Structure 1
Amino acid sequence: MTTRRAALDPGVPPSDPEFQHPAKGAAERFRLSAQGSTRQMINLEIFKSLRIPLPPVDRQQQIVDEVHAAWRTLDAASAALSSQIDLLVEHRQALITAAVTGEFAVPGAA
């Protein structure tokens, strides 16, 4: 560890890169652990005491697969909605054209 950088060695096989993400709340934990009067610092003892729980690699892969499946479902739903919006816009324009050209009677219009 230098005054600017430190590295974590989990001592276990590397986790799935798809599973790795910034830990929520890590910055807040660092801030709360900081010591110093005018400059926040994380000393080596605080840094070494951090515990970052990770599930086993096979569970990480299962989680990644579940997230990807959910994304595929959301992408399909988004594509279906976009298609429906396009059809509705087209239908709206056709109704407006029909009303303006007199092909469609608009109730209440004189």
Structure 2
Amino acid sequence: MKRTVALVAVVLLAGCSQAPAAHAVAGCASPAATGTVTVTAAVLDGRADPAPHRVSIPLGATVQVQVTADRVLPVHIHGYDREYDAPGCAAFTADRAGLFDVEAHPDTLLVQLEVR
């Protein structure tokens, strides 16, 4: 049991600050990268943790979405057509204004990106 917990902890800590793993999307920088808006979310037992929330993003900003999870899940950033597996991250330029959902599929809303 302890070995499983330790393995889950290591997987949950994997993310954008490390070199991309097979399940991560290339292009994610360290969280302290200048000019990057980092958005974090987690999925535990099939639910968003914390509850879904909205994040304001300046138009033209570089966005890094980091999702941790207790199992591998597909994550979709709607409107930007980015998909990747969590735990992992995706980086993109917020070049379209609007409200965009980030979901762990099939139907778990994690966060909304309000780009303006």
Structure 2-normalised TM-score?
0.17
Which of the pair is proportionally richer in helix? 1
- For CA contacts below 8 A with separation 6 or more, give which structure has more relative contact order: 2
**Higher percent of residues as strand:** 2
Using structure 1 for the length normalisation, give the TM-score: 0.18
